[in-house]
Amino acid sequence: MSNDRILALSGGVGGAKLVLGLSHALPAERLLVVTNTGDDFDHFGLRICPDTDTVIYTLSDLADRERGWGRAGESWGFMEAMRQIGGEDWFNLGDRDLALHVLRTDRLNKGSSLSAVTAEISDALGIKIPILPMCDQPVATMVDTPEGRLAFQHYFVRERCAPTVTGFEFEGIEKAQPNPAVVAALKENPAVIIIAPSNPFVSVAPILAVPELSNMLRKSGAPIVAVSPIVGGEALKGPAAKMMKELGMPASALEIARHYRGFIDGLVIDEMDAELAPAIADLGMEVEVAPTIMNDLNDRIELANRTVGFAARLSGGIER
Ligand code: FO1
């Protein structure tokens, strides 16, 4: 018998938007968020965890709504001073954001796990929803380009996603162990697993690549539904559509369905892509057509409700 918990897999700004909607649609004890750690990297000796931090700031309402990452009301004295003394300035660290990186790095250096320090910071910010990094071991998403291999943040921020991608590598993934809290939650048979509208290649793939995690997700018996990050042939935020084209795929919700085929039971697509529904259904998955563009909080809550409702309807028909 499944309990009624919802497990959401999230990376990037798009993922955090749906997580915010879910946090308003569900009581805190029903939601667990698993974050991608492949974007994490060391900068000035600080451990930076962007996808986890975006969820932390979003759920504590500290996030900058414009940027989607970092904190609102930020000041940039540190960056100005860094530039003045000739330090690297391609990655912007706000003065308040820095506190999180300094505290986390200090705790990690003293032996805390990423999960433990994430829980400590979440608690301090009054977040009741468990924010669970996919694993506590370091994993580094690398982006292969014709000019060579780039660390993810170099590709994404320093090079502004300009290089052509030819492939991805998740360095360290073979030594990664699924976050024990995620393993425990999966053993308690969650009701629903949601893949947020995150970049499938660099935000979702690292999570699904953690050894055994994909098997555990499927064995949990919970329906797995994804929300397409591609609407009308474009990614709403970030380089997903550009990556798909560079990898020789059409940038479409149908291609997203093909990408997740065999793993997900249902895909939520935008009304703009409604005509793709039959072709997606032909791939052997259920399809929900809904407004998936999240401009405000209400959109986020609406999409969260539609996605949970869709997945709950699938629970009856899951045979694995
Ligand atoms: N993204 C940018 O495009 N430019 C930045 O300067 C930048 C700084 C930054 C600092 C902290 C943080 O948690 C995230 C930051 N991001 C920045 C976003 C980050 O690169 C992306 O959110 C993820 O890595 C991909 O989703």
Tens of pLDDT, residue by residue over 115-154, are: 999 999 999 999 999 999 999 999 999 999 999 999 999 9
Cα 50 to averaged position of ligand 1 atoms, centre (Å): 6
Residue 109 clears pLDDT 90, i.e. is over it: yes
User: Around Cβ 64, how many Cβ atoms within 10 Å?
Assistant: 15
Q: What is the residue type of 3?
A: N
Instruction: Provide the CATH topology of domain 6-144+170-314.
Output: Rossmann fold (3.40.50)
pLDDT digit string, tens, across residues 8-58: 999 999 999 999 999 999 999 999 999 999 999 999 999 999 999 999 999
Pairing state between β 167-171 and 140-145: antiparallel
Among 53, 54, 102, 157, the mutation site with the greatest number of ligand 1 atoms within 8 A of its Cβ is 157
Residue 319 clears pLDDT 60, i.e. is over it: no
Q: Is 189 in the pocket of ligand 1 (CB under 6 A)?
A: no
Asked if 161 and 239 touch (Cβ cutoff 8 Å), the reply is: yes
Q: Please, what is the end-to-end C-alpha distance for the chain in angstroms? A: 15
What whole-number distance in Å separates Cα of residue 142 and Cα of residue 1? Answer: 40
From 144, 86, 136, select the one nearest 116 (Cα to Cα).
136
Ligand 1: nearest atom to the Cα of 68: 22
| DSSP per-residue letters across 42-95 | EETTEEE-HHHHHHHHHHTT-B-TTTSSSBTT---HHHHHHHHTT---SS---H
Q: Structure tokens of 301?
A: 């809550």
Cα 60 to averaged position of ligand 1 atoms, centre (Å): 18
What whole-number distance in Å separates Cα of residue 169 and Cα of residue 143? Answer: 7
HSE-CB at 162 with a 13 A cutoff on CA atoms is 6
Q: For residue 318, what pLDDT band results from cuts at 50, 70 and 90? A: low
Q: Is 40 in the pocket of ligand 1 (CB under 6 A)?
A: no
Q: Is 41 in the pocket of ligand 1 (CB under 6 A)?
A: no
User: What are the boundaries of each domain within the chain?
Assistant: 6-144+170-314
Q: Is 92 in the pocket of ligand 1 (CB under 6 A)?
A: yes
Ligand 1: nearest atom to the Cα of 53: 13
Q: How far is CA 25 from the centre of its chain?
A: 19
Residue 1 clears pLDDT 60, i.e. is over it: no
pLDDT at 317: 55
Cα 135 to averaged position of ligand 1 atoms, centre (Å): 20
